[in-house]
Amino acid sequence: MEFLENLRSGDSRFLARALSAVVERAPGAAGLLRAIYPATGHALVVGLTGPPGSGKSTLVDGLARAYRLRGETLGVVAVDPTSPFTGGAILGDRIRMQAHHADPGIFIRSLATRGALGGLAQAASDVVAVLDAAGKDRILVETVGVGQDEVDIIQLADVTVVVLVPGMGDEVQAIKAGLMEIADVFVINKCDRGPEKLEQEIKAMLALAPSGAEADAWGPPVVKTVATQGEGIEGLTTVIAERVAWIEAHGGLARHRARQWQQRLRQFARDRLAQRLLDPWLTEERVERLAESIATHGTDPYTAVDALIQQALETSLQ
Amino acid sequence: MEFLENLRSGDSRFLARALSAVVERAPGAAGLLRAIYPATGHALVVGLTGPPGSGKSTLVDGLARAYRLRGETLGVVAVDPTSPFTGGAILGDRIRMQAHHADPGIFIRSLATRGALGGLAQAASDVVAVLDAAGKDRILVETVGVGQDEVDIIQLADVTVVVLVPGMGDEVQAIKAGLMEIADVFVINKCDRGPEKLEQEIKAMLALAPSGAEADAWGPPVVKTVATQGEGIEGLTTVIAERVAWIEAHGGLARHRARQWQQRLRQFARDRLAQRLLDPWLTEERVERLAESIATHGTDPYTAVDALIQQALETSLQ
């Protein structure tokens, strides 16, 4: 297939166009994604998530450098509104992005978290598929692990790294609790601030986890880094490699990914259903009229939306 | 209607049961919501959002006290995983919740942010509708303003308060940018830490906003608080009242709410469509089989999901 050949040629302009097509859901994007899917599965996807201010971007940057030095080609997908690759970039911080700009072996794509109606997880999934089909050896996905959307995104990763920092206060406890179940690896970044208390907390939480029952279960290790100094990055790549080796030894990547797909499939199907059936029907004018009627109590939102869905269904099947 | 009478009787056990029914989408919940909708619209809904650690919960607590002192009845909806009302409560911090426990004039309901598949915004909307129909004068909705889900939730508020704190670092810039467009009021909490720099930044951002074109446009004021000391809470209630007065003078609340519904209706319809059509079809077994097939490249996710949707459509219309 000529398209796939172009995609794998290393021509980053072609890759950029293909990514824009899938993100903007251009006509033909669905066919493109279908066509490239058999060529996916080569890349190892590493997700990094954590609260704002935990230094994820710097860590992603450090990991990218480390993998590039080993000759791996890389895709970076940034879906973190607090990342300099995305939101930060809007505000002028393009420094790190520029540092990689001259390197054709690394391709960075950011995704805006706002305005991607219900489709951010799918957009991220599609972008990863294209980068994978383009032959990238490794794909780093950066997201801020707070909302449900963001947790959905990180489920496309083969290995999930949760990044925390010391001294973020008690409120971060709850975030940790929410991220605990998806973490394969914990990073304590900025650990020059004294990581002991946080490390103890993480280990205490892990000790409570039910998965510890199996004798050879994976226990998420805690890696200490100072990403701004490059400290601990090598250790992190080692732990990620160990996690991949563990997966290979316990059923293999394909089975691991099948389990991930079980988690993702419902949202994936929801998004596609809405795109196909509802979005074409929900014109500006129709939405405006309905909103008016609901706000003035001419109808209730449940009756109004059910009628709308019924109409959309009947129209789509005519 | 007897049900509505019970709901308005002030019996909090009845209210609690009604809320659980809508959150868990019990049979009859849809009918319940339809039936109570005409009785909604009385409550004034104030949303509070901001990054983790900004002290939103303490502020909500302070606002609740202030409104209770004026004799208003209150509903509090906490959808913030970092809030002591929700996630924090799981971890043992129930102190503030208990402080209100003896007061029948305030009703607190928390919503878990995880596991509410695509439906968190709708769950929040439904909970607010029930509290509104139950006769609460004011409803405070607390959420963490980072993900898209959380921004969706806050759009049900009549007045949106964005809470920030000094010294959260450059990464918070981007969050501010994302929240800027939805803010009616800014609060700089913990302003004993020196609010000047943050205040300048907010004002600089607001000066760039396009909405400033109209002569009598609402310019979001900046309120300084130290919520743990109760400082600035009265000032915040005043500013919220001013915003409501401004809305009343510029088209009224109904028109304001119609505009909010325009923003929310798409997601609302998406959620309902998925609940009706897709969720019954997506059995565990079916999801498992599909995930396996996708992960082993027996099919691609797009073809698989489209086939699934087609089957669900045909079944639902038989």
pLDDT at site B207:
76
pLDDT tens, A261-287?
Answer: 888 888 888 888 888 888 888 889 999
Residues of chain B neighbouring A177 (CB-CB closer than 8 A): 81, 87, 90-91
Query: Residue B224 pLDDT more than 60?
Result: yes
Tokens coding A25: 């859901």
Residues of chain B neighbouring A260 (CB-CB closer than 8 A): 291, 295
Query: Residue A291 pLDDT more than 50?
Result: yes
Residue A254 exposure: Cα atoms within 13 Å on the Cβ side: 8
pLDDT at site B159:
97
CA B309 – CA A313 distance, rounded (Å): 12
Cα separations in angstroms, A10 against A34, A133, A137, A318, B309: 21, 11, 12, 44, 36
Nearest CA in chain A to B302: A34
Contact B151, A114 (CB under 8 A): yes
Nearest CA in chain A to B58: A171
Nearest CA in chain A to B79: A147
**pLDDT confidence tier of residue A48, bands split at 50, 70 and 90:** very high
CA A63 – CA B288 distance, rounded (Å): 33
B148 CB contacts (<8 Å, ≥6 apart)? A113, A114, A116, A120, A147, A149
CA B108 – CA B75 distance, rounded (Å): 6
Chain A interface, best mutation among B256, B265, B282, B288, by max A CB count within 10 A: B265
- Please choose, from the candidates B193, B187, B210, B149, the residue with its C-alpha nearest in 3D space to the C-alpha of residue B62: B187
ipTM: 0.80
Average pLDDT over residues B43-56: 87
Tokens coding B116: 């509410």
10 Å CB burial of residue A70 (0-12, 13-18, 19+) is exposed
Beta strands B44-50 and B74-78 are unpaired
**pLDDT confidence tier of residue A221, bands split at 50, 70 and 90:** very high
Query: Residue B63 pLDDT more than 50?
Result: yes
Q: Is A148 in Cβ contact with B116 (below 8 Å)?
A: yes
Q: Is B147 in Cβ contact with A146 (below 8 Å)?
A: yes
CA A98 – CA A175 distance, rounded (Å): 32
A285 CB contacts (<8 Å, ≥6 apart)? none
Top mean pLDDT of A22-26, A92-96, A167-171, B301-305 is at B301-305
Handedness of CA B54, B57, B62, B64 (dihedral sign): positive
SS (H, E, C) A94-126: CHHHHHCCCCCCEEEEECCCCCCCCCHHHHHHH
pLDDT tens, A4-13?
Answer: 888 888 788 8
Query: Residue A99 pLDDT more than 90?
Result: no
Q: Is A302 in Cβ contact with B81 (below 8 Å)?
A: no
Compute how many other C-beta atoms are within 10 angstroms of the C-beta atom of residue B24: 9
**pLDDT confidence tier of residue A94, bands split at 50, 70 and 90:** very low
pLDDT tens, B86-119?
Answer: 544 333 333 455 556 678 889 988 887 554 545 6
Tokens coding B280: 């019954």
Top mean pLDDT of A22-26, A169-173, A233-237 is at A233-237
Nearest CA in chain B to A29: B302
CA distance A79 to chain B (A): 10
CA A238 – CA A244 distance, rounded (Å): 10
Tokens 């889900």 identify what position? B149
Query: Residue A88 pLDDT more than 50?
Result: no
Ordered strands of the A106-110 beta sheet: A106-110, A74-78, A138-144, A44-50, A159-164, A185-188, A222-224
Helix (H, G, I), strand (E, B) or coil at A54: coil
Q: Is B290 in Cβ contact with A177 (below 8 Å)?
A: no
**pLDDT confidence tier of residue A98, bands split at 50, 70 and 90:** low
B314 CB contacts (<8 Å, ≥6 apart)? none
Q: Where are the beta strands (DSSP E) in A115-250?
A: 138-144, 159-164, 185-188, 222-224
- Count residue pairs from A and B with Cβ separation < 8 A: 270
Q: Across-strand partners of A44?
A: A138
CA B289 – CA B180 distance, rounded (Å): 44
Beta strands B74-78 and B106-110 are parallel
Chain A interface, best mutation among B153, B261, B283, by max A CB count within 10 A: B261
Nearest CA in chain A to B115: A148
Name the residue among A149, A273, A312 with its Cβ closest to that of B148: A149
